[in-house]
Structure 1
C-alpha cells in the first residue's frame, strides 16, 4: 500500500501545489480588522475543499470574527476517533521585505512554494487533506479507516483567545488529538515531535520625563527610560545564560531519561543549524546542548524594543516612554500563574526608583507546555507511518514554539500527538516564508498510512 500511496501523491503533485497557491492568495491575517473578511473567506475556502473531498459534515464556527472550520467523517464504529487540529490564519507580512515573491502572490521555484502561510500552517492542513485522499485511493475505501474530525481555527496567531470557549460551546470529542502546527528537524532526518513548550507574552513600558524633552536642556540629570529599560533587559540573564527571575527553574520537570539520548542521536552541527536557522551564533543556557535548550529548557526572549523617534528626523529629545515586549517559553512543571508572578516581582525589585513603569502579562492568551505520553500506542504507529512516508528512520524531537496542545488535551480528555511538515529554514513569521514540496508530499504519505495503521493497532470500539 505504501507504494500506491506515493504513486497517487506523485501523480497529484501539481494539484497539491495549485491548491496551496490558491489558498495562500487569501490574506487571512490574524488580528487585523481590515482583514477579517479574508479570514472568513479562507475558512470558507477550506470548508469547500473538505466538502469536495467527501466530509459529510462541515461547519464554519464564526465566533466574533475568528472563523474556525470544523468537519467530521465518522463512519468507522469499531475504530478510534481522531481530532486533527491546525489553523488557517497567518501572520502579517511587509511586502517590501520579501525578495522571492510578494507574500500573498505565492510562487513555486526550486522545489519550494513561497508565500505567507505556505508552511505555517496552510501547507500542513493540505498535507492532511491529500493524506486522506491518498488513503482512500490506496485502500479503495469510501470512508477513512478511522473516525476523523478536523478543527482548523482562525486566530492561532493571536494566541487562540476564543478556542477554549469554542470547545466548551461545541464540545467535540475524540480518543486522540493530532496537532499539526509543528516543525520537523530536517528533511533528510525526520523526527517525531513529543511536546511543545508553553508561552507567556508580556509588555513593559518605562516612563521617564513627563514628555519628550530636548536633550540639550536636561541631559544628565533627567531619567532616561531607554537606559533604564536597557538595564532591565540586560539583567534578564546572568553570565551563564540562565534566566534571573527568582524561582524560575524551581518547578521545571526534567525530561525522561531516554529523551536526552534521543535528542543527542539527531544529526546536529553548529554549522548546519546556523545555516538553516540564520541565527548568526549559538548562545543560551550553559550545560545543555542546543537541542535541549530548544526543546527541554525554558527561555525568555525580547521581541521588540521601541523608544524615541523611530521614523523620520530625530528631534534630539530624551523620550518620555520606552517599551519592550517579552516572550517567555515554559516547559512542563512551570505554570502560567507562577511564572507571571515571578516576572512581576522581579521587575518590581529590579527597576530603578527614578522611573515609573507598567507591566502587562497576557495570561488570558498564555499557553501551558505539553508532552505526549511517550508510551502511548499511537506514538509507535506514527513512527512507523513516518518511516514509510519519508523512507528513512525517525528520530525524536520537541517543538521550540507553543500552541494550545495542553488546552486541547484538557478539554477533550485525550492525549495529543504531534505531526507537522515545517522546517527551521521555512522562515515562519519572517519574510520569504516557504515550504518544501517534497516534505509536504512525504507528510501526506505519512498521514495516508497512519490512518490504516491506527485502525489496525486499535481495533476496540471508540470511546467517544
Structure 2
C-alpha cells in the first residue's frame, strides 16, 4: 500500500492542486458554476479509478457525486460520505498563497479545501487505487459506495431529501464519514463522535433610523448596548451556557470515553500552539478535551452594528445583529435547544428595544456517537495502525455534520475517519494539509476495506 502511494506522491499532490483551484464555495451564487465543475472533476476522477457507476446528482443548492463499485458478493456494503464544497475565503487575509492558487511548502499544501474536505476525499480515491494495486484485485474487497455532497458548508439543507430520494441506491451496512480530524500526525486518534449544531441570527432594533448621537444621546435606546448586554449573559461565571434547561438532557461522557481522552498526549501549551488560540476557557469541571468533544457549547460568531467599515458617522445605529452557533451533544435535540434559546432571549432582552430571532432549525444537525463496541471500530483501529505505524487513540470532533441523519435514514452505524489536523486551519486563512498525513490516511483506507470484508 505505502509503496504504491509513495510512488505516486507527486501525482496525488498534482490532483489535489487541480481540484483546489476550482472555487467551489458554498452558498455564493456566483460560484454555482464552480460547484458544478468541482462535481464533474470528482466524477471524472472516480471513473478513472475504475468505478463502473458514477453519477452527478442535481441538487437545488449544489450537485452531489455518487459512485458505486459493488462486485463483492457476501461482503459488507460501505457508504463513504464527504463533501466537495468549501468555505468562502478572503484573498487579502491569506499570507502563504491566494486561497485558490495552491502552493506546496515544507510538506504542506496550502489552499482552500486542501484539508476540508477535498484532501479527505482524495485520500479515499487513492486508498482504493492502492488497495487494488497491492492486492491484485479487480474490484474492492467490500461493496463500495461514495456520496460526496456540495452543500455541507451551508448546513446540508437538501441532503435529507437527497437521501430519501435515493434511499435504495444508498443502502449500506456501514457509513464511513470523512470530514473529521486525527488529533496529531505522530499520534492519530479515531474520532467516535460529532457534536450537533444549531445556528441562530438575532437583530435588535433601537431608533427607527440611524440618528445623530449629538441629537438624542442619553434618552435614545441603543441596540448595540442592548445586544452586548444580552450576549454577556449567554454564559454564567462557571462557563456554563445560561439557556434554561440547556443541560437537562446532556449525557455525561462514559468512563471509557473519559479514559480514552485522558490517554491522548496533551499539554495546554501544545494545544494553544496548534489551535492558535490565546488561552483556555469554557465550562469548569471538565478537561479541555472533554469540553471540546463531550460537552455542549455556545459561541457568538459575528456582531455587526453601526459603521464597521469606513469612517464613523457619529450616529446611534437603528439595528445591531449577531450570529450564534450552539454545539450540542447527546441527548440534546435541535428543536429543544431552539425553544430554549427563544425563551432565554424573550426573558432577557430589554424592554426599550424590539428584536427578531431567526433559528435555522431545518439546517440544524443532531449529535452522533459511534457505538463503543462496534466491530468496525476495531477494524478501523487496525487499519490506522497499518497506515500510520502506531496504535491509535480515540477522540471526538468539536464540529458537527450530518452523521446522525445518515445513521437514522439508512439504519446503519457511522464510523469516522478523516485526515485533518487541528493545525490545518479549517475555515481560516492559509488552510493547509500535511501531504504525509494525507498519504498515511490513504494507506489506512487501503487497509480498511479488506479488514471490513473479514468481518462478514
Structure 1, unaligned stretches of length 5 or more? 459-464
Q: 2:261 aligns with which of 260, 263, 284?
A: 263
Deviation per CA, 1:130-167, whole angstroms, max 9, x where unpaired?
00000001100000000000000001000000000001
C-alpha distance in 1 between matches for 2:59 and 2:131: 32
2:366·2:404 contact (CA, 8 Å) conserved in 1? yes
Match of 1:90 in 2: 86
2:61 matches 1:61: no
Q: How does 1:304-323 map to 2 (within 5 A)?
A: 304-323=302-321
- Taking the aligned partners of 1:306 and 1:202, their CA distance within structure 2 comes to 14
How many angstroms apart in 2 are the aligned matches of 1:382 and 1:253?
Answer: 26
Distance 1:266 1:193 in 2: 12
Q: 1:115 aligns with which of 111, 117, 120?
A: 111
Once the two structures are superposed, the pairs formed by residues 228-243 of structure 1 within 5 Å of their partners are 228-243=226-241
Q: How does 1:44-443 map to 2 (within 5 A)?
A: 44-171=40-167, 172-443=170-441
The total of aligned residue pairs comes to 454
TM-score by length of 1: 0.97
Aligned partners of 2:324 and 2:140: how far apart in 1? 44
Q: Which residue of 2 aligns with 1:14?
A: 10
- Secondary structure at the aligned position of 2:289 is classed as helix
Q: Deviations over 1:54-110 (max 9, x none)?
A: 000000001224100000000001100000000000000000000000000001110
Unaligned runs of 5+ in 2: none
Partner of 1:447: 445
Do the aligned residues in 1 keep the contact of 2:27 with 2:61 (CA within 8 Å)? no
Structure 1 distance, partners of 2:101, 2:11, is 17
C-alpha distance after superposition, 1:341-382 (max 9, x if no partner): 000000000010000000001001000000001101000000
Helix, strand or coil at the partner of 1:10: helix
Q: 1:311 and 1:283 mapped to 2: Cα distance?
A: 30
SS in 1 for 2:428: coil
Task: Give the superposed CA RMSD.
Answer: 0.5
**Secondary structure, aligned partner of 2:132:** helix
Moved over 2 A (4+): none
Q: How much has 1:256 moved relative to structure 2?
A: 1.7
Structure 1 equivalent of residue 39 of structure 2: 43
